[in-house]
Structure formats: structure tokens, C-alpha cells
Amino acid sequence: MKTNQVLARIRAGEPAVVGWLVGGSPLVAECMGVLEFDGFLLDAQHGYWSYEALLNTLPTIADAGPAPLVRVADNDFGLIGRVLDAGALGIVIPMVNSAADAQRAVEACLYPPAGKRSSGGVRRERYGADYALAANDEIMAICMIETREAVERADEIMAVARLSCVMIGPGDLAMSLGLGLGRSEEHEACIVRVIEAGKRRGVPVGMACADTQDCLRRAEQGMLFLPCGNEIGWARQRAAEHLSAVREGIARRAGS
């Protein structure tokens, strides 16, 4: 069975740095896959990934080395199983607000007796002849905590057996707190509360990080799952830097 590099990093007590891919392009994912990220999170909730694009991309990322992860649109048993059968080594499940939600998510990710995932699909053969026996040790079930309700129930959510990790969604958390997309002391206190619950329960905590500094800050707080930035933002930033440099160079020459 192929080793999940994100999970291996977390098990070693080290932060896993994960690239976020939202645009739905297998070609861009292929180009990004050669970089030394621990994994790539393909966003099929707010991103633009079709199932066909996932089929084309998940093995490409896995063959390059990083772990292919997918954020699904809903905590749906059939949807989660279908994405796992396509080759994902981890599922991020949004809007988990209770232990029952988390239990349902974990059961959809794992084969019996630990879970209820249905056995089948030819894609799993790419990951080794022992996939069916070893998958439960390499597949990640990552539940998102992104509402006031989920923060208040963080301890009971993280008490669910075989939960790999929780991931804070700061944007939806801010919306749930009535902040729009803003931040506040209450917002940060909620984040700290989830981190502390993770320490008590022995469950790794991560967060969708806004930028490099945010990623470093969260690592210092003890977070181990660090999706940071996405290919659209990276391309926009590099293009802006390039454009600014060219404009400034042209202006200097015109003024000389």
C-alpha cells in the first residue's frame, strides 16, 4: 500500500505542508505535483474539480509522491466512497458540527470493521495489492470545524475513534460568529479552543492558512495539518510581481 506522506509527517509529530488546488486543471496539478509538498488538497467543494478531472489528477499526484487529498462538497457516504475509489488518500469533510457527523464521515472513509466503506473499484490496484487490507491505516478522515456549534462540541467531535485530523475553516467560522470575513479576539479564542481540545484528545489540528506568515504562526501553535495558499493565488501574486517589475523598468527607461 502506498504511504500517505501527509499522514506519515503528522505521525512523526511534524507539520504537513499541503498545497491547495482549486482550479480543476489536471495539467496545473501535474506541474505542481513535482514540488516537495507533503500533499495536495483538491477542493471539490468551493473549487472547480469535476469527477473526470479528479480521475485524471489523483494518480498523477500520487505517482509524483505527495498524498492526494480531496475536500468533498458534503458529508455523503456515496460521494466519499466514490472519491476514495478514484484514488484519494484522504477526505476533508466540511461542516462537521457534532460527534454524529464525525462518526458518519469516518465510517464512510474506512472499510469494515472500523467503518462502512464499500469494497470495490479498479483504481485501488495502483496503490498496491494489499490496498484492501492496508487502506484503513493510510486513508485520512479529516473533519472540518467551522462553526460556533462545532467549536463548542470540539471535544466530543475529537472523541470519535479513527478520526485522523480536524481542520479549522476560518472563513466559515468568522461567518458563524457574525463577523463576515473579518477576524476578532473571539475568532482567535475559538481557534485556540480547538487546538487545546486536540491536545487533550490526541487529535492533530490544522487550518486553512491565509498566507506564509499565517502558516508559520499556526505551526508555532502546534498545528500539524497546514494547507497554505492555492495555485490561483500563487499565479496571481507572481504575475503581479512580474507586471510591477516590468512597469517600473519601462518607467525608468522612459525617464532616463
Which CA distances in Å does 172 have to 7, 102, 122, 182?
25, 18, 36, 10
Q: How far apart are CA 54 and CA 68, in angstroms?
A: 10
- Short-list 32, 22, 86, 31, CA closest to 59: 86
Amino acid in position 255? G
The phi, psi pair for 85, rounded to 5°, reads -65, -25
Question: Cell numbers of 181, please?
Answer: 470575513
Contact yes or no for 143/151 (Cβ under 8 A): no
Question: Cell numbers of 15, please?
Answer: 507539520
Instruction: Select which of 46, 236, 242, 247 is catalytic.
Output: 46
Contact yes or no for 84/91 (Cβ under 8 A): yes
Is 46 tagged catalytic? yes
Contact yes or no for 87/123 (Cβ under 8 A): yes
Which CA distances in Å does 40 have to 4, 36, 49, 227, 247?
11, 10, 13, 8, 34
Read off the DSSP letter of residue 80: H
The residues assigned a catalytic role are: 46
